Amino acid sequence: MGEHHHRTFPPVFRLGALIYLNDIGPHSGGTRVWPGSQRVFEDLARAHQRYEWRAAILADIQQIDLGEPLDLMPHRGDILFLHHLSAHAGSYNASKRPRFAINMKW
């Protein structure tokens, strides 16, 4: 793997947090999460040498059954804490307002 890729274990960070700076309504770019995805990825990485690198998990993410996503609609001041292997993404923002959040990692 290249110099910017990270091994799955030990994690490059252990906990991430998104601090939302404005209210996010339906179809306004809220965060989409896959509950329990961190357990699926951890089990795969421990069982298969090919997932030694996080990039390999991301390359196969379309074929991994993560269940149904949950679309969050946070309010200003809400904080979303994420495990380092949690699958998450920004959803499509159909509103005319940008979504603002601070992304922190420890």
**Quick one: pLDDT at residue 68?**
95
| pLDDT higher than threshold 60 for residue 2 | no
CB atoms within 10 A of CB 99: 18
What pLDDT shows up at residue 12?
86
23-56 confidence digits (pLDDT tens): 999 989 889 999 999 999 999 999 999 999 999 9
pLDDT at 1: 55
pLDDT score, position 71: 93
Which domains does the chain show, CATH number per domain?
Answer: 15-105 (2.60.120.620)
Helix or strand or coil: residue 103?
strand
For 51, residues 6+ apart whose C-beta sits below 8 A from its C-beta are 8, 41, 44, 45, 57, 60
DSSP line for 29-87 = -PEEE-TTHHHHHHHHHHH-GGGGBHHHHHHHGGGS-----EE----TT-EEEEETT--
Give the single-character DSSP code of 9: S
Task: Cis check for the bond before 10: say yes or no (omega within 30 of 0).
Answer: yes
Q: What is the pLDDT of residues 63-93, one digit of tens each?
A: 999 999 999 999 999 999 999 999 999 988 9
CA distance 82 to 47: 23
CA distance 103 to 71: 18
